[in-house]
Amino acid sequence: MIANLGSPLSAALALLCAWVVIGLAGLLRPMSLVFAGRTLFPLGAACGLALALAALLGIAAPTAHLTLPIGLPDLPMHVRCDALSCVFLCILGATSAGVSLFGAGYFRSGQGAPPGLLCLQYHLFLASMGFVLLADDAYGFMVAWETMALSSYFLVTTQHRIEEIRRAGFLYLLMAHLGAIAILLCFGVLQGGSWQFSFDAMRSAQLSPPRAGVALLLALVGFGAKAGLVPLHVWLPEAHPAAPSPVSALMSGVMLKVAVYGMLRVAFDLLGGPLWWWGLLPVSLGLFTALYGIVFAAAQTDMKRLLAYSSVKNIGILFTGIGLAIVFHGVGRPQLAALALVAVLYHSVNHAFMKSLLFLGTGVVLHSTGERNLGRLGGLIHRMPWVAWLTLVGTLAIAGLPPLNGFVSEWLLLQAFLFAFEVPHTFVNMLLPLGAGLVALTGALSGYVMVKFFGVVFLGKPREAAAAPAHDAGSLERGGLLWLASGCVILGLLPAQIVPVLARVAEQLHVGRLLPNGAPWWMLVPLQGRQASYAPLVFSCAVVAVVLLTIWVVRLLYHQRIRRVAPWDCGFGRLDARMQDTAEGFGQPIRHLFEPFFAMQRQLPSPFDPAPRYRVVIGDRIWNAAYAPLGALVQRIADAFAALQQGRIASYLLYGFITLIVLLALVL
């Protein structure tokens, strides 16, 4: 079937191929930073922008199919573009446009892999994510999925000369492969005995409920491992700090969303109708993940690890929403199911923007100070105002404060949660609304974490001399940050326009539809009956008015002069920059409240120690309880097998001989 070239599907395919070509072009002059940075990365950004536009048009367009003449002999590659794919393609395109523009100015020479190679890996990563979103058969999906895992592995280990980064990369690759095996098995179950691996065959396969349940469970494990669902989250806080910042931005902002896409695709498209109570597992796992992630984020002292744990929290929120949509769908509440699904999609878009923005912000800080440790930063708002103010937008958004986008999606999810009493099953309808409380708690903690992040990095005074001569971002970097920050603002101000677009996905997947409710264009009313509504424009106008009024009043009443003086030292007489609230100090109450979450080792100095040192190491209990023993077991087994390695050819031949004899004896 040949689609016309103007259709969103062929446009998206052409743009993905353009990404591959741009990546390959990087190999023409592999050592040239200028060529990769000033030519190829901006080109990639333009492709991203075009992809976002094409996908935006594609959401409204009917579903398009295409069979590509590549692939295995009997199994050509199918691609398909429906509203769900388009929403995520839009995320991919829009986010990568900002990140690529930023990356054009970010990568410096002499850091690990040569720029041309980096350019290839980066654009292959982008293109493979796009192909995952378009694939319409298990084969194409897995090929693109693995390409995504491998290219991102090489990006994570860009600075492969550092032992720690190699370790992080290995852990990431290991978890990615475990996830991929689960996904492969999931497809194996989904084909339901027809042995046809196109998604169309899976849609029409009639699965018995136990088989479908197993498929959903496998999908949860596979996509959860990629997304960072607790207890499969361990790679996330290791890999994100190891990768260069634009790569962390893409991995956290887009790749995790691709995993969410996979989960949605399996749960609502391939898997006919899941039973309602299967949704309870994603809900409970998601809520636990959200709480776990944000509590760990509060305890971190490395700014990129902090953001990585915050991503874990957001993934938890997303999976909670998915589970909720399954529950509502299963009990026959299509409107609520659609609401939950829209909340998931909206939050995916939002998180892509805000988390990329924050990771890029940390990238600039890291470049100009060489420091990731929060304890050595501080006061950067004076040195890098652009980065500080744009990052502030991101922190406010991710903290879920109203005029910005983070609030909208969490609010939508809360609305869906508050209607959970309509589930016609006792206990469940009493327990589910409690989840709303947990979501609100994680939202509040998220605000706490972001205050810590922004306050310690940008406010106060520089804690170390190294942070003092920091310089602001370059113009290309600023452009990338500005694009993402304005995305956060627009997504926050125009939810009433965006929600109906996203609702098309729910309609097309037959999950349910949001009924038109006659609300004015500036007001978001998710459900009918005026139970709740939100008017972001009015709200933000009020906020701006109050702020301006306050400034004006203060100026009017006060002496209208700004004085810069040293802070009052209470007569102590010897204040220095280290006497500020630290990241450890700020996280201490959370560490104290949620102590069972952490495996903490503390060394407290004695009061009489002339050179006191305070040390705290925060470990992950899940790592200690599950991963460490498993790793030790594998190591022991491997060591036992290593005894076979003698170094003598005669022994090796003897092994072969004995094996041959045993096999022959078995035949006999």
Strand-pair partners of 80: 65
Among 5, 640, 642, 644, binds other proteins (CB under 8 A): 642
Quick one: 563 or 648, whose CB is closer to other proteins?
648
Contact 452, 298 (CB under 8 A): yes
Closest separation between CB of residue 632 and other proteins, Å?
16
Q: How far, in Å, CA of 525 to CA of 521, rounded?
A: 10
Quick one: 562 or 649, whose CB is closer to other proteins?
649
Residues contacting residue 210 through CB under 8 Å, at least 6 positions apart:
none
Task: Kindly state whether residue 565 participates in binding other proteins, applying the rule CB under 8 A.
Answer: no
Q: Which stretch binds other proteins (CB under 8 A): 97-105, 245-253, 616-624, 637-645?
A: 637-645
Closest separation between CB of residue 168 and other proteins, Å?
24
Quick one: 614 or 657, whose CB is closer to other proteins?
657
Task: Kindly state whether residue 640 participates in binding other proteins, applying the rule CB under 8 A.
Answer: no
Q: How far, in Å, CA of 546 to CA of 10, rounded?
A: 49
Task: Kindly state whether residue 635 participates in binding other proteins, applying the rule CB under 8 A.
Answer: no
Listing DSSP states for 303-323 in one string gives HHHHHHHHHHHHHHHHHHHHH
Closest separation between CB of residue 636 and other proteins, Å?
13
Quick one: 5 or 668, whose CB is closer to other proteins?
668
Task: Kindly state whether residue 654 participates in binding other proteins, applying the rule CB under 8 A.
Answer: yes
Quick one: 1 or 644, whose CB is closer to other proteins?
644
Q: Which stretch binds other proteins (CB under 8 A): 298-306, 369-377, 513-521, 647-655?
A: 647-655
Q: Locate 390 and state its tokens.
A: 């744009």
Task: Kindly state whether residue 566 participates in binding other proteins, applying the rule CB under 8 A.
Answer: no
With CA atoms as reference, report the closest residue to 345 among 127, 519, 536, 507.
507
Query: Rg of the Cα trace of the chain?
Result: 26
Task: Kindly state whether residue 162 participates in binding other proteins, applying the rule CB under 8 A.
Answer: no
Helices (H), 107-137: 115-134
Residues of span 426-465 touching other proteins by CB under 8 A? none
With CA atoms as reference, report the closest residue to 509 among 347, 316, 345.
345
Quick one: 609 or 639, whose CB is closer to other proteins?
639
Helices (H), 191-235: 199-204, 209-227
Closest separation between CB of residue 656 and other proteins, Å?
8
Task: Kindly state whether residue 663 participates in binding other proteins, applying the rule CB under 8 A.
Answer: no
Task: Kindly state whether residue 649 participates in binding other proteins, applying the rule CB under 8 A.
Answer: yes
Among 430, 600, 657, 662, binds other proteins (CB under 8 A): 657
Contact 621, 598 (CB under 8 A): yes
Q: How far, in Å, CA of 314 to CA of 355, rounded?
A: 10
Task: Kindly state whether residue 567 participates in binding other proteins, applying the rule CB under 8 A.
Answer: no
Closest separation between CB of residue 329 and other proteins, Å?
55
Task: Kindly state whether residue 638 participates in binding other proteins, applying the rule CB under 8 A.
Answer: no
Q: How far, in Å, CA of 174 to CA of 201, rounded?
A: 31
Q: How far, in Å, CA of 242 to CA of 154, rounded?
A: 11
Tell me which residue has tokens 């991101």: 394
Q: Locate 207 and state its tokens.
A: 């699965």
Task: Kindly state whether residue 332 participates in binding other proteins, applying the rule CB under 8 A.
Answer: no
Closest separation between CB of residue 666 and other proteins, Å?
11
Q: How far, in Å, CA of 660 to CA of 389, rounded?
A: 71
Q: How far, in Å, CA of 313 to CA of 311, rounded?
A: 5
Instruction: Write the CA distances from 609 to 262, 580, 605, 617, 658, integer angstroms.
Output: 56, 22, 7, 21, 67
Task: Kindly state whether residue 646 participates in binding other proteins, applying the rule CB under 8 A.
Answer: yes
Listing DSSP states for 598-659 in one string gives EEEEEEPPPTT-SS---EEEEEEHHIIIIIHHHHHHHHHHHHHHHTT--S-HHHHHHHHHHH
Instruction: Write the CA distances from 325 to 88, 420, 546, 612, integer angstroms.
Output: 18, 10, 38, 53
Q: Which stretch binds other proteins (CB under 8 A): 30-38, 332-340, 563-571, 658-666?
A: 658-666
Task: Kindly state whether residue 648 participates in binding other proteins, applying the rule CB under 8 A.
Answer: yes
Q: How far, in Å, CA of 50 to CA of 368, rounded?
A: 32
Task: Kindly state whether residue 70 participates in binding other proteins, applying the rule CB under 8 A.
Answer: no
Q: Which stretch binds other proteins (CB under 8 A): 374-382, 476-484, 593-601, 648-656?
A: 648-656
Closest separation between CB of residue 441 and other proteins, Å?
49
Q: Which stretch binds other proteins (CB under 8 A): 85-93, 256-264, 436-444, 645-653?
A: 645-653
Tell me which residue has tokens 């498929």: 215
Count how many Cα atoms sit within 13 Å of the Cα of residue 350 in the half-sphere of its side chain.
39
Could you count the other beta carbons within 10 Å of the beta carbon of residue 529?
7
Closest separation between CB of residue 191 and other proteins, Å?
37
Closest separation between CB of residue 646 and other proteins, Å?
7
Contact 348, 88 (CB under 8 A): yes
Among 60, 604, 661, 662, binds other proteins (CB under 8 A): 661
Residues contacting residue 439 through CB under 8 Å, at least 6 positions apart:
287, 290, 317, 320, 410, 413, 414, 417
Closest separation between CB of residue 650 and other proteins, Å?
5
> How many residues make contact with other proteins (CB under 8 A)?
18
Quick one: 595 or 639, whose CB is closer to other proteins?
639
Task: Kindly state whether residue 656 participates in binding other proteins, applying the rule CB under 8 A.
Answer: yes
Quick one: 547 or 653, whose CB is closer to other proteins?
653
Task: Kindly state whether residue 68 participates in binding other proteins, applying the rule CB under 8 A.
Answer: no
Task: Kindly state whether residue 647 participates in binding other proteins, applying the rule CB under 8 A.
Answer: yes
Strand-pair partners of 71: 76
Task: Kindly state whether residue 666 participates in binding other proteins, applying the rule CB under 8 A.
Answer: no
Where does this chain bind other proteins (CB under 8 A)?
639, 642, 645-650, 653-654, 656-657, 660-661, 664-665, 667-668
